[in-house]
Amino acid sequence: MILLKRRLLIIFVILIGFTTLTVGQDTVIIDDFESGDKGWVQVNQGWVDFEIVSNPKISQVNSSSKVMKITRKSGTQDWAGIILRNQVNLTLGALPNQYRYAHVKFMKQSTGKVTFKFEKNGDSGSFSSTKDYPNSNDWQEIIFDLAGATGNTYDDYFIMPDQTPNLTQDITIYIDDIILKTDPNATVGENEIELPGQYQLIWADEFNGSSYDKSIWKPQISGGGFGNNEKQYYTGAEKNIFIRDGNLVLKAYKESYQNHAYTSGKLWTQSLKYFKYGRVEARFKLPQGRGTWPAIWMMPQSSVYGGWPKSGEIDIMEFVGYDPSKIHGTVHRQAGYAGNGNGNNISIQGKINDFHTIRIDWEPGYIKWYLNDVLLHTYNNAFSGYEQWPFDQNFYVILNFAVGGDWGGAQGIDDTIWPQEFLIDYVRAYQKVEDNTAVQPLKGDIGFKINLSSNDEIRVSSSNISPYNMYLYSLSGQAYLVKHNLQGDSIFNISSIPKGMYMVTLTDNKHNYSQKIIK
């Protein structure tokens, strides 16, 4: 954990002008059957038998040791199969943050059709994709195209492994490696705004010394439930917050203190380190047992939009001990209040004793969560106002280990497990600095001219024949005006927007031109 610490003066220039950007591919493993049964059930009682078994035919297509064996019974309907309910909420479709392809490996006794169906709260509004299984008795990876789901979200995964009509005898099918992937060639719409440049470290604590870095962190010393009926008092004492073997340890005890039944530790960077847009990454090891509720999260330095949840909350990582198979990432905002959370979870089944790495990438157009480099969740800026996106302000980082509470204690507290420890190996914060890969305005005659008149009108002159798009953004990335398919000269009145510096960007199929204006 040796890392050079640097303080950087960051100057941001917003990258506008591409109406589309290409992105990489994100992958979610629904099940590889190597860690036991995740909770699959048959859709109709008695229609199938299923169990996890050793791979009966190791091959280049599938060298896994464990697979799922499914036996469809004779006389059953072709929708016989198994379903995994109430799992990760995933959005399917053809856009960059949507899962476009489902990969499933099949081996069965005969050719025919196989179906992958996605549901949310039952069959209503479900989506399914059916493909051919062309060769019998060999492992084959079938790829289902999910573009037709058009942005709908699902959390139930239903495999129909054999759709032979009028089945007259039992048939055995093996399945493995159920994986969803985004389309690496998908394009990003204008709402997926990203800052230019590359991430560079702005601060970090590797917890390699005898204490945490007091220029970054300070302890919170208080109790009272924190609005969640939590049971701990944060003491700031060394027995609750200390360094051991290169890790920060937040340790919770069952003990009476300040009219609380437990003590624990909490650090935050409030007023010391705060920033807007960037990346936060942390490596951690979880406590265990009912009543544990560790978290890595962010709150606004100034609540400019009002009290919680109006000014937002970014929960980078949360874990509740009574549900040890999942790690959660969530945002809270005014939209949808009181159900103000928008989040997701990812399975760590069988890996609670491991260290895990969590990160968020926070851009003007989205926040993405990754656990161990696998996408956990995406929350997009709809550019509809602070109620949906209060995340255009400075936020600070919090590390804490709560005990009990409305969520952490929803199934009670096991009083036999204490003390428990929440270990953090490091916390690193990054922001982007512009580099030479950022798109620059083209020189020469590009056919566009931009002028701001004294009566707050942006006047655009275009000598190009092609239609063009116009974008007006603040330098922090907030969209104030977006117009598509314009032709010729145009006038836009901006008297209603606040005074300040803005970026006007014009794009057509050949050109990309940006110019700053000051109102």
Q: Measure the CA–CA gap between 356 and 368, rounded to whole angstroms.
A: 17
CB 507 within 8 A of CB 190: no
| Residue in this structure with the two tokens 């025919």, named with its chain if needed | 112
Classify strands 48-54 and 66-72 as parallel, antiparallel or unpaired: antiparallel
Q: Is the dihedral of CA 338, 345, 52, 100 positive or negative?
A: positive
CB 210 within 8 A of CB 222: no
| DSSP H stretches of helix in 284-409 | none
CB 466 within 8 A of CB 509: yes
Q: Tokens standing for 259?
A: 């009219």
Q: Tokens standing for 132?
A: 């051919």
Secondary-structure percent of the chain, ordered helix, strand, coil, rounded to 5: 0, 45, 50
Measured in whole angstroms, the distance separating CA 424 from the mean position of its chain's CA atoms is 20
CA angle 272, 277, 278 (to 5 degrees): 85
Residue type, 378: T
C-alpha count within 13 angstroms, C-beta hemisphere, residue 327 = 30
Q: Measure the CA–CA gap between 428 and 3, rounded to whole angstroms.
A: 10
CA angle 377, 298, 181 (to 5 degrees): 10
Q: Measure the CA–CA gap between 239 and 255, rounded to whole angstroms.
A: 12
Catalytic annotation, residues: 313, 318
| Contacts for 239 with CB less than 8 Å, ≥ 6 apart | 251, 253
| Residue in this structure with the two tokens 């480099």, named with its chain if needed | 373
Q: What is the largest CA-CA distance in the chain?
A: 82
Buried b / exposed e over 455-492, threshold 16 CB at 10 Å, is eeebebebebeeebbbbbbbeebbbbbbeeebeeeeeb
Hey, which residues does 64 pair with through a beta bridge?
none
